Amino acid sequence: MSFITTNYKENKHNNFEPLPTGTYELLINKVQEHATPSGAESMQIDFIVRNDLDNVPELSETNAKYHNRHVFMENWKRHATNQYDTKGFQYLLEAAQVPEGTSIDSIDDFMKVLTGKPMRVYVKKDVDDYQTERQNKKVYRNDIAPYSVEKSKFPQVNHQQKNNAVADATVEDPFADKSNSNKVNISNDDLPF
C-alpha cells in the first residue's frame, strides 16, 4: 500500500494579483503593528473578502469571484509626531458601528474592537509607484482609503467565516477564572523562578 497517490483534480491554485477595483464586503481579519527595518511604524489592517455572500447578485463580480482573498490597509505613524493619524481610524470605527463617544484606551483595545467586524469597502487597483520604479515594469497593488470604508450592508456574518477570520486574534486564557469569585493574588516573591 502506498503512502499517497497523486490526484490533482481538487487542487486550487491561488491568484496573487491585486483585486480588481470595486466595492467588496470584507471582514477585518487582523489588526497589527509593523515596523520596517529602518524603524518606520505602521498599523496594518488585514481585510478578508467575505465568503458567505457568494449568492448575493450585487456581489457577483466581487465577493463571489474573490472570496477569502486578503487586502491590506496601512496607517503610518507620522514622523513629526510619532503618532498615528487617528482621523483615518475614525472611519473604521464608524463602519464597525462602535457607538459615538466610546473611549478606546489603548492600541490593543483598538485592535480588539475592530477584529472580526464586517465592512463595505471600495478597493482600488492602482500602480505601485515604488515597486514600478525599482522593477522598471508596471506593478499593481490595492489601495483602501480610510474614507472609502462604510457600514456593511450585510452585518450578519456566517459564524464559520468569522471564526476563521478571528482565530489568531482571540486566544482565550485557559487559566482565567471566569466566575471572578475566587481571585488569587500572587506576588513575584511567591513564584519559584
Domain residues of the chain, as ranges?
22-157
- Write the secondary structure of the chain as one string of H (helix), E (strand) and C (coil): CCCCCCCCCCCCCCCCCCCCCEEEEEEEEEEEEEECCCCCEEEEEEEEECCCCCCCHHHCCCHHHHCCCEEEEEEECCCCCCCCCHHHHHHHHHHCCCCCCCCCCCHHHHHHHHCCCEEEEEEEEEECHHHHHHHCCCCEEEECCHHHEEECCCCCCCHHHHHHHHCCCCCCCCCCCCCCCCCCCCCHHHCCC
To the question of domain 22-157 being in CATH 1.20.120, the answer is no
Q: What is the pTM of this model?
A: 0.73
pLDDT in tens, the chain (193 residues): 789 888 888 777 766 789 999 999 999 999 999 998 998 899 999 999 999 999 999 999 999 999 899 999 999 999 889 999 889 999 999 999 999 999 999 999 999 999 999 999 999 999 888 777 777 888 899 999 989 999 999 988 876 665 555 554 344 444 455 555 555 566 666 666 5
